[in-house]
Amino acid sequence: MKSRELNDRGEKTWLLVFDKDDEVIATLTGFAKTHAIQAAHFTAIGAFSKVVLGYFDRNRKDYTKIPLREQVEVLSLIG
């Protein structure tokens, strides 16, 4: 992953570019620990080649997981 700080006045703004096959959660968590980030929000676009999508099924009170092993576009990733 490559990173660059875009703004350091007030709220900091970072640009992160993930490498192919980077694990998103682990990479974001590591970045946050390295930079002592305790609270944040993010917006992203891109693609995954291996991912598990899911949604909460209110009737079952559990998540339904959908594993995908193909190139898929991410139009919006917010968290």
Q: Which tokens belong to 65?
A: 């997981």
State pLDDT tens for residues 26-71.
999 999 999 999 999 999 999 999 999 999 999 999 999 999 999 9
pLDDT at 67: 98
pLDDT at 21: 87
Q: At a CB cut-off of 8 Å and minimum separation 6, what does 74 contact?
A: 44, 45, 46, 47, 48
pLDDT at 10: 86
pLDDT at 46: 94
What is this structure's pTM?
0.77
Q: Where are the domains positioned within the chain? A: 1-40, 44-79
Distance CA(48)–CA(68), nearest Å, equals 9
> What is the mean predicted confidence (pLDDT) over 7-30?
93
